[in-house]
Amino acid sequence: MDKLILEPSGPLRGTVEVGGAKNAALPIMAACLLTEEECVIEGVPHVTDVNTMAQILSLLGVEVAWEDGRLAIHPNHYTGWTAPHELVSLMRASICVLGPLLARHGRAKVSMPGGCIIGLRPVDLHLKGLEALGATFTIEHGYIIGRAERLRGATIHLSGPFGSSVLATGNVMMAATLADGVTIIEHAACEPEVADLANGLVEMGAKITGQGTPHIRVEGVLRLHGARHRILPDRIEAGTLMIAAAMLGGEVTVKGAISEHLGGLIDKLREANVAVESLNGSIRVRSDRRVKGVQVTTLPFPGFPTDLQAQMMAMMTMSEGVSVVTEKIYPERFTHVPELRRMGAQITREGPSAIVQGVGRLSGAPVTASDLRASAALVLAGLAADTVTELSGVEHLDRGYEQLETKLTHLGAAIRRERG
């Protein structure tokens, strides 16, 4: 397995461009199952999760060609309807093929999804929403087996115990595009990736309004056609780079970052005495002093993203004063805490919260990432430490970040990858 060797780094300076959002690319790829015509997706990041989804589509009989950030997907007359465990277990977003398969073929067999170990993430809302459209499900030998003679529009409430679900909203919305009649999704997720999926579906001929709000309306059509769609920039990658600049100091311009998608983070960085400036198509971050401790609570969009919680906590370990980080989306998403402690961080868990007492400096140590965002947090911590840090579990980082170490090196960080 690969390892990253992280050396103490000074302030970061320069301009870096954010890539396309893998959390937007994955559902759009699944949406191509809804048509027989070619779809072209541009701005796709070359990350492991995208490769996994491409393999799933290929096993279903779909032709996928990937070149220079552009995916050409040819669904044609694919006949497969099973998404196998060996691939779906690698990535939770694989569940996105469930709705399109039911809408197009009336049947689907999808393994219970896997992905990062960050706590319970049930598929109940997916099944609830699709059942409201007329699908029926059984769980057999670890697989979700769904059937639907014909989907019909319905009013569906998708609120769960921790708020709305991004993937469930997408799954139901995709299935509803080919259902008879009108579907109303109440308590829909408002994340930019959901709106991007809706916009891609509209480009394919779907009739959708209300994307980006908790109330989405889908009027079913007889068929969808091919389309060309460019996915939006990755707000989580952008946020990770912004936190890196705030934590290590310096001045960094993140080209392509959309401030409207990062309001929760921008607010907390400014509260921590970090200068954040929204430019035309970019965000500039400047930091020349030790950050101040803040209270952070993760919430559905437009609140502070759960996918930036670990990175923000890494920054808070070196803050002045005490910070409290509360996880409202995935209350067990704290696998990074023991590894940060190994580096000298003072963190105490209290239920869904972590109390962080800032320290002057972290210590380099061998650490291991166990999920995607924890890996990014440990990269930042390693660069801020006083001696060399060796990070294992880099395969998690590669699931969602395209050459993060290259981008940070371009800004002045000292990172190298050792191939395993």
Based on DSSP, count helices (H) and strands (E) in the chain, helices before strands.
Answer: 14, 24
Cβ neighbours of 386 (radius 10 Å): 13
171-182 residues labelled b (16+ CB within 10 A) or e (exposed): bbbbbbbbbeee
Alpha carbon of 23 to those of 30, 263, 417: distances in Å? 12, 18, 25
Buried b / exposed e across 275-293, counting CB within 10 Å, b at 16+? ebeeeeebbbbbbeeebeb
Instruction: State how beta strands 182-186 and 155-157 pair.
Output: parallel
Retrieve residue 21's tokens: 């959002």
394: Cβ–Cβ under 8 A, 6 or more apart, which residues? 1, 2, 3, 4, 369, 375, 417
Q: Which residues pair with 276 in a beta bridge?
A: 285
CB atoms < 10 A from the CB of 186, how many?
A: 13
Distance of CA 262 to the CA centre of its chain: 14
96 is known as an active-site residue:
no
CA–CA dist 1, 370 (Å, integer): 13
Give how far Cα 120 sits from Cα of 233, 353, 393, Å.
28, 17, 21
Residue matched to tokens 């009108």: 182
User: 102: Cβ–Cβ under 8 A, 6 or more apart, which residues?
Assistant: 108, 130, 135, 146, 147, 148, 151, 175
Residues paired with residue 7 on neighbouring β-strands, in sequence order: 414
- Residue from 32, 39, 96, 116 carrying the catalytic annotation: 116
DSSP states of 124-158: HHHHHHHHHTT-EEEEETTEEEEE-SS-B--EEE-
Widest CA span of the chain, in angstroms?
63
Which residues form the catalytic set?
A: 116
